[in-house]
Amino acid sequence: MLSNLLVQLINGIALGSTYALIALGYTMVYGIILLINFAHGEIFMAGAFVGLMLVTVFKVHIIFAFLGAMLFCMIMGVIIEKIAYKPLRRSTRLAALISAIGVSIFLSNLANLVFGAKPTTFPPTEEILFKIQTYELIAGAQITNLQILTIVTSAVLMVCLQYFIKKSRIGKAMRATSQDYDTAALMGVNVNRIISYTFAIGSSLAAAGGVLVGIYFGVVKYNMGFMVGLKAFTAAVLGGIGSIPGAMFGGLLLGIGEMLAVALGLSSYRDAIAFGILILVLLIKPTGLFGTQIQKKV
Amino acid sequence: MLVVENVDVNYGAIRALVDVSLEVHEGEIVALIGANGAGKSTTLRSISGLVKPNKGRILFEGSELQKCPPHKVVEMGISQVPEGRRVFPLMTVLENLEMGAFTRKDRANIKDDIDKVFAKFPRLEERKKQPAGTLSGGEQQMLAIGRALMSKPKIMLMDEPSMGLAPMLVQEIFNIVKEINQSGTTILLVEQNARMALAVANRGYVLETGQVVISGAAADLAKNEAVQKAYLGV
Ligand SMILES: Nc1ncnc2c1ncn2[C@@H]1O[C@H](COP(=O)(O)OP(=O)(O)OP(=O)(O)O)[C@@H](O)[C@H]1O
Ligand SMILES: [Mg+2]
């Protein structure tokens, strides 16, 4: 029992770290333009497909496929913002939200058209990475090298992001813009450019998550963005939407919660449990665990 | 130096400014006074590029501002201390000051200028690592002024810097306004505290429901009967 729990805990951390990567995009975009970017899950899906194509069709090394997917989605995210959200910046928030849902439906249908409705398999890990090995930890717990890779890659990306946001000039401008949009403009910040940076970073992290999930589960599918997108969004709300540490923490917590449900024999209810957590958080603490109440004038 | 020419600003159906014209010459302190909702903040926001005039021109040193985005306006040498201070609450005092210097190319000198702001406002230095949201109202106002100074503006637009402060602090803020002006920065000062504003200003404009109704030398305005009745409580 204990060993099963520990195994699922580690699975949960691996899964949760990918949720966290994706949740960051939701939270960063929301923090700046108060939009729930419903198309973000599809960017994650696109990242997975681009990574897969680069490995299988273009025979690129997995590291370059990973970076290529991030670059592709970075550009894709910026273009989506320019086409679908920027023209609606002065409209109601609902209009932008509907536009985001539209982009989401468009992208998953486009992927369906291009790649078909059947799941596409990722090449086996031993061909693109390494042979899966399992290491024994204490008390019967186990971790695979693939899990280590997933967790470490996510952690490195998140540490880089945190450093960028805290220390760099652009990072500071992003924080200023998310705290007070007009006043950031009064400081000389080109807020349109900051919005583009935000989409670029959030989308490339989603792509990273996409490739990691693709390798981890071995399959990618046109509609994979929907459920993972919802989960990552839940993670962002759980941590407090708009809060970057909140998204990281929320992702991990959700991943662990889901896998512990599996450990307790409730595996067919894992999605219900994830969304049950969302409803509970919204009821008890709508600002989330790390949420702050700052007055916003946009 | 700064010329606002026949500017109209509408917010939807609301006409916030109607044919407003005013001028600020280099080296001056110009006061813009008026009741709540008269359009004072809207005037400053249109100069800074946060709202676009429906009509009219805004000229700064001869170039047109009314189509410039806000960040370009800052680069030209216009900074604003916005109404209600608007410090970045979750950023530290130091980071707020750094944001003020965002447009500057001479990054090496920024540190020195932060020290100059600290010399002017020692309370800020003691709190430099603290999130700005935890400062008192007076400290936040000083931070907002220090932050606006960090861009080395030619002209500073100040929107009700004395709002909500205790009488002693109000006096201090007006002294600081004078000091900043004496060290070479032109100032357009929006105030509800008309008495104090006219005491430090060279000239003044009175705004009523979006229109300039009286203008002239500050000393004359302070003696004007209509102004005294409406704004000085005489
Ligand atoms: N964003 C906005 N949308 C709609 N109407 C607005 C907006 N901002 C200001 N107004 C209206 O424009 C008019 C002028 O407002 P403004 O804020 O410029 O006044 P003010 O002179 O600065 O007042 P106060 O002394 O209270 O700050 C008011 O009638 C106000 O209600
Ligand atoms: Mg005002």
pLDDT 10s digits, B123-141: 999 999 999 999 999 999 9
Higher pLDDT, B134 or A283: B134
CA of B82 to the centre of ligand 2 (A): 9
CA angle B100/B105/B106 to nearest 5° reads: 90
CA of B82 to the centre of ligand 1 (A): 13
Which of B143, B116, B112 is closest to B127 using CA atoms? Answer: B143
Q: What is the chain B residue with the closest CA to A183? A: B86
CB hemisphere CA count around A16 (13 angstroms):
25
How close A250 comes to chain B (CA, Å)?
21
Which pLDDT belongs to residue B39? 94
The distance from CA A284 to its chain's CA centroid, rounded to whole angstroms, is: 24
Q: Are A173 and A189 in contact (CB under 8 A)?
A: yes
Q: Is B220 on the interface with A (CB under 8 A)?
A: no
**A2-284 domain in CATH 1.10.3470?**
yes
If you ran DSSP here, which 8-state letter would residue A84 be given? I
Which pLDDT belongs to residue A297? 36
Which of B3, B149, B133 is closest to B62 using CA atoms? Answer: B3
Q: How confident is the model at residue B101 (pLDDT cuts 50, 70, 90)?
A: very high
Which pLDDT belongs to residue A293? 54
pLDDT digits (tens, 9 = 90+) for A55-108: 998 888 999 999 999 999 999 999 999 999 988 888 888 998 999 999 999 999
Domains in chain B, CATH or no CATH each: 2-87+154-232 (3.40.50.300)
Q: What is the chain B residue with the closest CA to A176? A: B88
CB atoms within 10 A of CB A146: 19
Higher pLDDT, A293 or B13: B13
Mean of all residue pLDDT scores within chain B: 93
Q: Are B9 and B41 in contact (CB under 8 A)?
A: no
Dist. CA B18–CA A4, nearest whole Å = 73
Ligand 1, atom 31, lies closest to the CA of B37
Q: For B104-111, what is the mean pLDDT?
A: 90
Which pLDDT belongs to residue A218? 86
Residue A39 makes CB contacts below 8 A (sequence gap 6+) with A80, A84, A100, A103, A104, A107
Q: Which two structure tokens, joined as six digits, stand for A28?
A: 């960063």
How close B195 comes to chain A (CA, Å)?
28
Interface predicted TM-score (ipTM) of this complex, two decimals: 0.92
Dist. CA A64–CA A76, nearest whole Å = 18
Q: Is B90 on the interface with A (CB under 8 A)?
A: yes
Q: How confident is the model at residue A292 (pLDDT cuts 50, 70, 90)?
A: low
CA of B37 to the centre of ligand 2 (A): 7
> Quick one: which ligand is closest to B40's CA?
1
**Does residue A251 surpass a pLDDT of 70?**
yes
Dist. CA B124–CA B116, nearest whole Å = 11
Phi, psi of B203 (to 5 degrees): -135, 165
**Does residue B109 surpass a pLDDT of 50?**
yes
Ligand 1, atom 1, lies closest to the CA of B11
**Does residue A296 surpass a pLDDT of 60?**
no
Q: Edge-to-edge strand order for the sheet containing B211-217?
A: B78-81, B155-159, B186-191, B29-34, B203-208, B211-217
Query: What single string gives the DSSP state of each residue in chain B?
Result: -EEEEEEEEEETTEEEEEEEEEEE-TT-EEEEEE-TTSSHHHHHHHHHTSS--SEEEEEETTEE-TTS-HHHHHHTTEEEE-TT----TTSBHHHHHHHHTTT-S-GGGHHHHHHHHHHH-HHHHHTTTSBGGGS-HHHHHHHHHHHHHTT--SEEEEE-TTTT--HHHHHHHHHHHHHHHHTT-EEEEEES-HHHHHHH-SEEEEEETTEEEEEEEHHHHHH-HHHIIIII--
**Does residue B214 surpass a pLDDT of 80?**
yes
> Quick one: which ligand is closest to B18's CA?
1
How close B82 comes to chain A (CA, Å)?
8
Q: Integer distance in angstroms from the first to the last C-alpha of chain B?
A: 34
**Does residue B74 surpass a pLDDT of 90?**
yes
Of B48, B75, B90, the CB nearest to A186: B48
pLDDT digits (tens, 9 = 90+) for B7-25: 999 998 999 999 999 999 9
